[in-house]
Amino acid sequence: MAETRCFCKFQTFAVFCAVLALSTSNVVASVRVAAKGGVDLPGLHAQASVLPSSASLDGGDGLGYWLSTEVSPKWLLAKCFSVAKTNITASVYKFSDKSIYEALQSAVDMNPELGVTLIVNDETLDHDGKEWLEHLNKSDRADIKLWKDIKDSGFDKLHAKFVICDDFVVLGSANWSENSCSGSNMEISVAGTSAFAARELEAAFQKLWANEHASSL
């Protein structure tokens, strides 16, 4: 995608380019190389500029890349929930937007085949967020863990943000919060139908789920 390459020229966005690169294993490898050398940002964006077009990722399907000014992160989440037929799996940092909760709950209510598996960062949850999770948890089709602080262990905050709705994925900088989704913050979202991205993100999710920070509600 021409826009993506152009975007990746700005060093400030190099970290995002690493996120964009998630969908292409050769770039993931180059990001690892860059990280090994102490996060070599110029090297990173030089590598990211050779990102292949999303259309070539896995046989014609692909991902789009959108800033908040183009597509609201909330719209992409709602779209994801609405296309899911069997499984919504998500890793969430901040969960404080009621309409996102309602969209998720209504997907569960409307589709008796749908299972939901969530990990939500514990420390950012307020009273409402806890109630929503407890309500979701009442469905025997929801499985929820909270990502908790463990003293002196590192990786205390779950900043990894992604949702897998069968083969449709959304990942990016937006939280499930008002500021992320109302236009106050400029976010980037990577979203679309990609069996490849869904598989890779599921593998990442399994590692989070098995991590010592992830505990039952």
Ligand X SMILES: *[C@@H]1O[C@H](CO)[C@@H](O)[C@H](O)[C@H]1NC(C)=O
Per CB under 6 A, residues contacting ligand X are 87, 89, 93-94, 115, 117, 134, 137, 140, 159, 175, 177, 179-180, 185, 202, 205, 217
Residue bearing tokens 């083969």:
167
Cβ of residue 109: shortest distance to ligand X, in angstroms?
Answer: 16
Report d(CA 157, CA 170) in Å as an integer.
Answer: 20
User: Which residue's CB is nearer to ligand X, number 47 or number 142?
Assistant: 142
Distances (CA, A) of 121 to 90, 144, 148: 11, 11, 7
User: Which residue's CB is nearer to ligand X, number 32 or number 157?
Assistant: 157
DSSP characters over 68-114: TTTS-HHHHHHHHHHH-SSEEEEEES-B--HHHHHHHHHHHHH-TT-
> Using an 8 Å Cβ cutoff, are 185 and 171 in contact?
no
User: Which residue's CB is nearer to ligand X, number 45 or number 94?
Assistant: 94
Cβ neighbours for 213, distance < 8 A, ≥ 6 positions apart: 147, 148, 149, 150, 153, 155, 156, 158
Report d(CA 63, CA 24) in Å as an integer.
Answer: 11
In the bound complex, which residue of the shown chain has the CB atom lying closest to ligand X?
115
User: Which residue's CB is nearer to ligand X, number 49 or number 105?
Assistant: 105
Cβ of residue 207: shortest distance to ligand X, in angstroms?
Answer: 11
Cβ of residue 114: shortest distance to ligand X, in angstroms?
Answer: 8
> Using an 8 Å Cβ cutoff, are 10 and 4 in contact?
no
The tokens for 76 are 């992409």
User: Which residue's CB is nearer to ligand X, number 65 or number 162?
Assistant: 162
Cβ of residue 179: shortest distance to ligand X, in angstroms?
Answer: 3
Cβ of residue 68: shortest distance to ligand X, in angstroms?
Answer: 12
